[in-house]
């Protein structure tokens, strides 16, 4: 590493440690920010000599990164940004902090994927899904798929692990047909992790025709784009690998969604030569991810935290939550997006029959939504009030980003 990079890396680690000591979060953003100020090429320098996997998508990337890091850990030490700091500052900080590791598994915000591919020269890129998320400031779904596609077309050597169930992802992973013999098509491994949310992929990104669905299959009615045959699939509490071998996956994380995330993690690890047989036991050691799925006992209630940031992830949260009293908390601060319209894209009907409580800055938006959805609810002003309002036993908490962080802070920053 050049001297400037060494200095930058060291200062970055110190800044992160100071920030942590001062109680200002985990320090990964400020540390990376300072390091990149000293050496703008720091991320590239820190990446050199490591085999890196990047994991991106609208939903599931923090959890899948955690599971993939556990799986790749079969081979040796793995650097990872396990606190969800998923922009270049976070990657820089994670690699600086880790010292020299042969491997890195990095979660990447979907807007930064192209930039991080350029900086880190990854061995494998995993593309999970693309759906609407904070449209008041985020890129539209089709535009994001286009950016991914362009970035991957510039790097045909990268091995791609991609979700066969999401038309936008499939299109992004398969660059336009070229007749130039010198350009090799990218190596794509397809997995099937399911797609509960279809409302952003009715229109073909290639030709604008309607996309049809039947069971798990989908195809464009106007061009050859269709669901590729996946090599990794989820089946009956387990994962089928490309050879057809089935592995039982026993996770501590809830829901079928997370079995899909496990399949993705195993597919990523396989690109490094990790056998599923060796990796599967490690997946079962993961208990919570940056507070997600964490369980805390408070006044005789077992509180479990689930994060849901956009319509697709709410559907997943309903899949993960037990049939138990449920607190929903909604904010609309900057990190959440200022617009609450998406509440009407979520069907809250699965909550009927449960005791539902609502809170958060934008609880009234949620109240209007639940009323139209015929889901009875009780409004509470605070998290503590919610805890006291439910009988002893389980309390499921589903919250969007800053609401989740607020409740996590009340629970002493549980990880």
Partner 1 sequence: MSTETLRIVWIYPDLLSTYGDRGNALILARRAKQRGFPVEVLEVRSDQRLPTTADIYLIGGGEDGPQALGAQRLLADGGLHRAVAQGSVVFGVCAGYQLLGTSFFAKGTQYQGLELLDLSSDRGPSRAVGELAGDIDARLGLPPLTGFENHGGRTHLGPGVSPLARVTAGVGNDGATEGAWRGKLLGTYSHGPALARNPALADLLLRWATGAQHLPPLDDTWADRLRAERRTAVATARA
Place of tokens 């050879």: 243
Minimum Å distance from CB 141 to partner 1? 8
Q: Which of residues 341-370 bind partner 1 (CB under 8 A)?
A: 341-345, 364-365, 367-369
Binds partner 1 (CB under 8 A): choice among 140, 235, 237, 334: 140
Q: Return the range that interacts with partner 1 (CB under 8 A); candidates 69-77, 123-131, 276-284, 338-346.
A: 338-346
Q: For residue 342, what is the DSSP state?
A: G
C-alpha 125: how far from chain center: 13
Binds partner 1 (CB under 8 A): choice among 22, 150, 349, 372: 372
19: left (phi over 0), alpha (psi -120 to 50) or beta: alpha
Place of tokens 């549980």: 414
Minimum Å distance from CB 149 to partner 1? 16
Distance, CA of 385 to CA of 271 (rounded, Å): 48
Assess 208 for contact with partner 1 (CB under 8 A): yes
Distance, CA of 247 to CA of 71 (rounded, Å): 14
Residue 292's nearest CA partner among 31, 107, 45 is: 107
Q: How far is CA 361 from CA 73, 101, 325, 383, in A?
A: 40, 43, 21, 12
Q: Return the range that interacts with partner 1 (CB under 8 A); candidates 60-68, 92-100, 201-209, 227-235.
A: 201-209
Q: Return the range that interacts with partner 1 (CB under 8 A); candidates 86-94, 97-105, 200-208, 402-410.
A: 200-208
Minimum Å distance from CB 388 to partner 1? 23
Assess 340 for contact with partner 1 (CB under 8 A): yes
Assess 338 for contact with partner 1 (CB under 8 A): yes
Half-sphere exposure of residue 383: CA atoms within 13 angstroms, side-chain side:
22
Helix (H) or strand (E) holding 329: strand 326-329
Residues 387, 298 contacting (CB under 8 angstroms): yes
Q: Which of residues 120-139 bind partner 1 (CB under 8 A)?
A: 132, 135-137
Binds partner 1 (CB under 8 A): choice among 373, 378, 410, 411: 373
Place of tokens 């320098």: 45
Q: How many residues bind partner 1, per CB under 8 A?
A: 28
Distance, CA of 389 to CA of 303 (rounded, Å): 13
Interface map 37-76 toward partner 1 (x if CB under 8 A): ----------------------------------------
The nearer residue to partner 1, 138 or 414, going by C-beta atoms, is 138
Binds partner 1 (CB under 8 A): choice among 7, 44, 142, 153: 142
Q: Would you state the structure tokens that stand for residue 221, as one six-digit string?
A: 């009615």
Binds partner 1 (CB under 8 A): choice among 7, 44, 203, 324: 203
Output phi, psi for 384, to 5 deg: -60, -40
Which residues contact partner 1 (rule: CB under 8 A)? 132, 135-137, 140-142, 199, 202-203, 208, 210, 338-345, 364-365, 367-369, 371-373
């Amino acid at each position: 590493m050049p001297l400037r990079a060494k200095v930058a890396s060291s200062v970055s680690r110190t800044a992160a440690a100071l920030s942590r000591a001062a109680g200002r979060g985990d320090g990964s953003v400020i540390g990376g920010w300072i390091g990149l100020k000293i050496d703008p090429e720091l991320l590239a320098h820190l990446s050199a000599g490591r085999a890196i996997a990047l994991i991106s998508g609208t939903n599931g990337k923090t959890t899948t990164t955690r599971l993939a890091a556990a799986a790749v850990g079969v081979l040796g030490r793995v650097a990872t940004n396990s606190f969800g700091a998923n922009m270049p500052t976070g990657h820089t900080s994670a690699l600086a902090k880790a010292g020299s590791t042969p491997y890195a598994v990095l979660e990447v915000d979907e807007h930064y994927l192209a930039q991080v591919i350029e900086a880190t020269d990854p061995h494998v890129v995993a593309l999970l899904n693309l759906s609407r998320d904070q449209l008041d400031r985020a890129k539209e779904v089709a535009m994001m798929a286009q950016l991914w596609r362009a970035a991957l077309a510039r790097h045909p050597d990268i091995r791609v692990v991609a979700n066969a169930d999401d038309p936008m992802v499939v299109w992004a992973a398969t660059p336009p047909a070229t007749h130039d013999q010198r350009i090799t098509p990218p190596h794509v491994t397809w997995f099937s992790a399911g797609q509960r949310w279809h409302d952003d992929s009715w229109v073909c990104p290639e030709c604008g025709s309607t996309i049809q669905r039947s069971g798990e299959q989908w195809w464009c009615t106007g061009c050859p784009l269709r669901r590729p045959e996946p090599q990794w699939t989820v089946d009956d509490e387990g994962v089928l690998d490309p050879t057809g071998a089935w592995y039982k996956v026993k996770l501590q994380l809830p829901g079928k969604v997370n079995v899909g995330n496990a399949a993705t993690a195993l597919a990523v690890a396989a690109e490094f030569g990790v056998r599923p047989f060796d990796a599967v036991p490690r997946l079962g050691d993961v208990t919570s991810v940056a507070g997600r799925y964490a369980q805390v006992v408070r006044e005789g209630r077992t509180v479990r935290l689930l994060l849901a940031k956009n319509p697709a992830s709410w559907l997943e949260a309903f899949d993960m939550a037990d049939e138990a009293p449920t607190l929903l908390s909604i904010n609309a601060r900057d990190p959440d997006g200022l617009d609450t319209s998406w509440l009407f894209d979520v069907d809250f009907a699965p909550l009927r029959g449960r005791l539902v409580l609502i809170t958060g800055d934008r609880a009234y938006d949620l109240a209007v939504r639940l009323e139209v959805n015929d889901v009875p609810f009780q409004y509470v002003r605070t998290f503590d009030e919610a805890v006291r309002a439910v009988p002893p036993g389980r309390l499921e908490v589903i919250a969007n980003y800053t609401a989740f962080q607020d409740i996590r802070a009340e629970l002493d920053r549980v990880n």
